[in-house]
Amino acid sequence: MINRQKIVTMTKLALYDKHEAGADRAASEYFRHDYIYKKNLGTRFAVGIAGFLMLALYWGRVFLLDGADILQMDVRQYLTASMIFLVALLALFSLIGTIKGTREYYLIQKRLDGYNVLIRQLEKIEAREEAHIHRRDSETRHGTDSVSTRDIS
């Protein structure tokens, strides 16, 4: 007899294994902090490069289009403003990346918890089927033994 609950559970497990299991298992090998740090490392690097490029464009405009003289300007003020811009940019994207990474990590943990619940559900279904088969087999054996004993007497 076909057990619909078992089929549905096995289908859900197969879909999870096919679509999300590999990435989720790889991410679950890390502690939350390490996972977030790893995810943010590339973002911080890219934001740093983008920030330097934006500053290079700004300084190019200041020197080439505005005709600023480096000897006449307060270099310390401009460098301080540039560093504040870079630090603020990195801090903003680090915060955004940390929030996003934390959310992703908890969703991964939630999916893995759901997967484990489905595994336990499947084990219970199979245990019930096994018990049903053993019960049916023992009833069949006892029924056969009692019939054959009556036939002999």
DSSP letter for each residue of 98-148: HHHHHHHHHHHHHHHHHHHHHHHHHHHHHHHHHHHHHHHHHHHHHHHHHHH
pTM value is 0.62
Structure tokens at 105: 């990590």
Secondary structure letter of residue 90 according to DSSP: H
Spatial CB neighbours of 129, under 8 Å, sequence gap ≥ 6:
3, 6
Q: How confident is the model at residue 153 (pLDDT cuts 50, 70, 90)?
A: very low
Query: What distances in angstroms separate CA 39 from CA 28, 50, 103, 151, one per listed residue?
Result: 13, 18, 12, 76
Region 124-152 average pLDDT: 71
Residue 149 to residue 16: CA distance in whole angstroms = 53
Which of these, 88, 84, 91, lies nearest to 43 by C-alpha position?
A: 91
On the question of pLDDT at 6 being above 80, the answer is: yes
Query: What distances in angstroms separate CA 49 from CA 35, 84, 87, one per listed residue?
Result: 22, 15, 12
Secondary structure letter of residue 20 according to DSSP: T
Structure tokens at 151: 């036939």
Which of these, 47, 52, 58, lies nearest to 90 by C-alpha position?
A: 47
pLDDT in tens, 91-137: 999 999 999 988 988 998 898 898 899 999 999 988 888 888 888 88
Q: Tell me which of 107 and 66 has the higher pLDDT.
A: 107
Q: How confident is the model at residue 49 (pLDDT cuts 50, 70, 90)?
A: very high
Query: What distances in angstroms separate CA 88 from CA 19, 76, 152, one per listed residue?
Result: 37, 18, 95
On the question of pLDDT at 87 being above 60, the answer is: yes
